[in-house]
Amino acid sequence: MLHLPTSKKRVSLAMLHTALLFALITAQLCITITYKCNGNPIPEFPAILVFGDSSVDTGNNNYIITPFKGDHPPYGLDFPGSLPTGRFSNGKLVPDILAAMMGLKETIPPYLDPYLSEQDMVTGVSFASAGSGYDDLTTSLSHVIPMSKQPGYLKHYIRRLEGIVGEKEVARILGSALVIVSAGTNDFIFNFYDVPTRRIQFTIDEYQDFLQKQLQNLVKELYHLGCRRMVVSGLPPVGCLPIQMTAKSPVLRSCSHKENADAKSYNDKLEKLLPQIEAELLGSKILYVDTYNPLLDMINNPTKYQFVETRRGCCGTGLLEAGPLCTRSTPVCPNPSGYLFWDSIHPTESAYTILSQKLADLLLHEFPVTRTQ
């Protein structure tokens, strides 16, 4: 037996104690965190399925006839390979970042991509379409895919997936997948504020209820197709989007308090509605995701998040440019990561990363993790 001097014994015991403590802490983290733990990913969901607008469209509009495209530089400036993939940002969106956090895959591809691999099909896709909304009127001129039509693509996806893994496995994937629903902003901007077509028919309160009825129909349709775990995003502070500040307060660059108040009341209604829908749909889990308060905190407290600019976008003047107005010839700010907004509507990857972390925290709280051996 090896006999150590007393001082060395103390050092060895202290090191052993530290190592054991570290191992215990690491083990606890592996139990409670779905992110990568010691390089060993523990995905809580077998797939991510996404429905919505440009906040979650990873490139579907590339494959349809519409002017609402982000398939050109400088979009994708900070995406791997500096590729303009159709994402309306400088980099990845929340579904991409979340998938990587969970160890599922690095990005969520658009369903309309003709070169989807079988593995991409199995682990999830986005059905979202930039410019979309719950109100079919929102897409009448842009010809993008309305929210009401996106479940139709899910039906087609299910048939294709059954050919890959079989009917029983498809039911398991759908029942355990994380379903992300994110839309509503375009409905208010296109139909109520900037082009007041719906304002002739509805009060703001009535239009909110109208949209949430369409959302309720969508959620129920997704449920009947087999989806059980859903997160539904509320509205951002619409009045603080650079394009809305340009329209309402071009000199002072102040947020529209009226539009923010409308978004907040919409969110309050949605937060109450979702548990009611969940109670009707046996075995479902439907969570409200708050984007309003996190984004407003970024706007009001930029240094807290290492932002240098939160009231204009990185692309061009940052006041008006988006989509076809944010092009290869448009100047770009020298440090996109210091900007909250990439163009006059859409956040940067930096902002989406913060929102992704908050969503991940919510998922950790609401969906307990089963430790894998």
| Residues assigned a catalytic role | 54, 343, 346
Q: Where are the alpha helices (DSSP H) in 115-203?
A: 118-123, 150-165, 167-176, 185-188
Q: Which two tokens stand for residue 180?
A: 């992300």
- Taking 3-state DSSP, the helix, strand and coil percentages for the chain, each rounded to the nearest 5, stand at 50, 10, 40
With b for 16 or more beta-carbon neighbours within 10 A and e for fewer, the 25-41 pattern comes to: eeeeebeeebbebeeeb
Backbone torsions φ then ψ of 256, nearest 5 degrees? -80, 110
Q: Which two tokens stand for residue 103?
A: 């160890």
Neighbour tally for 44: CB within 10 Å:
20
The answer to whether 58 and 96 are in contact (CB under 8 A) is yes
The answer to whether 71 and 62 are in contact (CB under 8 A) is yes
What is the residue type of 250?
Answer: P
